């Protein structure tokens, strides 16, 4: 099985490319994100490869990063998510955003992907939520919002006490009702938590802090 291919781009299509490796052209399917990053025809590129073998075909799927490849494998482990849908999701939601999208149950963001309806988007969030709980969501928010918290880890325990979880969810719901996207609201609430220095917060205080994050 192929794990990686390095060569020159021969032709780029809407959802794939032909990669010339030593005079042999490999047809490789890829996300819109990867296709936008690899350059134009004639450019040299290395792609991580996932090989899918079926009775009637052998398909190659290429990825520009380990994170994108791993998310493809995770997404396609969900019933109803095929390779095409997996690439469409990665086109609509970059790998660094997917943990927050799923943790915040933001099915609407997943529905931006071609071929992903409301039922499938909900199933993805439900089946993968436990898996993203093992990811460093606090660090992801730290990176995206440039949160600085000296002397303490930015890792937030997603298995926090029930009352804190309920407070966070109420704050997210309030922000969504104000017109913010669910993932955006979730990130803002987490950032506000990280900056609170573990001081107890009321729902009003948490919403105000999150709104400051959104305004910043």
Q: Assign 92 a pLDDT band (cuts: 50, 70, 90).
A: very high
Q: For residues 105 and 152, state if they share a domain.
A: no
Q: For residues 140 and 201, state if they share a domain.
A: yes
Q: For residues 177 and 216, state if they share a domain.
A: yes
Which SS3 state, helix, strand or coil, does residue 29 take?
A: strand
pLDDT on residue 133: 64
Q: What is the CATH number of the domain that holds 21?
A: 2.40.50.140
Q: For residues 8 and 29, state if they share a domain.
A: yes
Residue with token string 């899918």 = 52
Q: For residues 154 and 182, state if they share a domain.
A: yes
Q: Residue 194 pLDDT > 60, yes or no?
A: yes
CA neighbor of 214 nearest in space, from 162, 160, 164, 176:
176
Q: What is the CATH number of the domain that holds 109?
A: 1.10.150.20
Least confident of 28-32, 98-102, 158-162: 158-162
User: For the segment 97-106, what is each residue's pLDDT rounded down to a tens digit?
Assistant: 888 888 888 8
Q: Residue 121 pLDDT > 90, yes or no?
A: yes
Q: CA 138, 143, 144: angle at the middle one, nearest 5?
A: 100
Q: 156 or 21, which is more confident?
A: 21
Q: How many whole angstroms separate alpha carbon 27 and alpha carbon 97?
A: 28
Q: Assign 12 a pLDDT band (cuts: 50, 70, 90).
A: very high
CA neighbor of 149 nearest in space, from 198, 195, 81, 109:
195
* Residue finishing a domain among 94, 109, 135: 135
Q: For residues 128 and 142, state if they share a domain.
A: no
* Residue finishing a domain among 135, 158, 174: 135
Q: For residues 149 and 172, state if they share a domain.
A: yes
Q: For residues 216 and 140, state if they share a domain.
A: yes
Q: How many whole angstroms separate alpha carbon 207 and alpha carbon 74?
A: 33
The DSSP bridge partners found for residue 44 are 8
Range of the domain at 83: 68-135
Q: Assign 71 a pLDDT band (cuts: 50, 70, 90).
A: very high
Residue with token string 């309030």 = 174
Q: For residues 127 and 51, state if they share a domain.
A: no
Helix (H) or strand (E) holding 190: helix 182-194
Q: How many whole angstroms separate alpha carbon 183 and alpha carbon 106?
A: 6
pLDDT on residue 139: 46
Domain count, the chain: 3
* Residue finishing a domain among 135, 168, 186: 135
pLDDT on residue 197: 61
Q: Assign 144 a pLDDT band (cuts: 50, 70, 90).
A: very low
Q: Residue 75 pLDDT > 60, yes or no?
A: yes
Q: For residues 156 and 173, state if they share a domain.
A: yes
């Amino acid at each position: 099985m192929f794990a990686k291919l390095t060569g020159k781009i021969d032709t780029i299509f809407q959802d794939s490319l032909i990669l010339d490796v030593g005079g042999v052209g490999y047809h490789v399917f890829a996300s819109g994100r990867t296709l936008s990053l690899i350059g134009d025809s004639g450019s040299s590129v290395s792609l991580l490869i996932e090989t899918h073998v079926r009775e009637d075909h052998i398909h190659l799927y290429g990825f520009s990063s380990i994170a994108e490849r791993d998310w493809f494998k995770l997404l396609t482990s969900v019933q109803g998510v095929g390779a095409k849908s997996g690439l469409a999701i990665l086109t609509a939601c970059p790998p660094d955003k997917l943990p927050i999208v799923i943790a915040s149950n933001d099915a609407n963001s997943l529905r931006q992907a071609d071929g992903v309806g409301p039922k499938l988007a909900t199933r993805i969030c439900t089946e993968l939520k436990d898996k993203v709980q093992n990811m460093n969501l606090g660090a992801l928010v730290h990176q995206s919002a440039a949160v600085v918290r000296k002397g303490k880890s930015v890792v937030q325990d997603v298995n926090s006490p029930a009352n804190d979880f309920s407070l966070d969810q109420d704050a997210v719901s309030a922000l969504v009702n104000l017109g913010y996207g669910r993932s955006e609201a979730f990130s803002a609430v987490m950032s506000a938590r990280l900056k609170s220095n573990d001081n107890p917060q009321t729902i009003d205080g948490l919403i105000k802090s999150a709104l400051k994050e959104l305004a910043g």
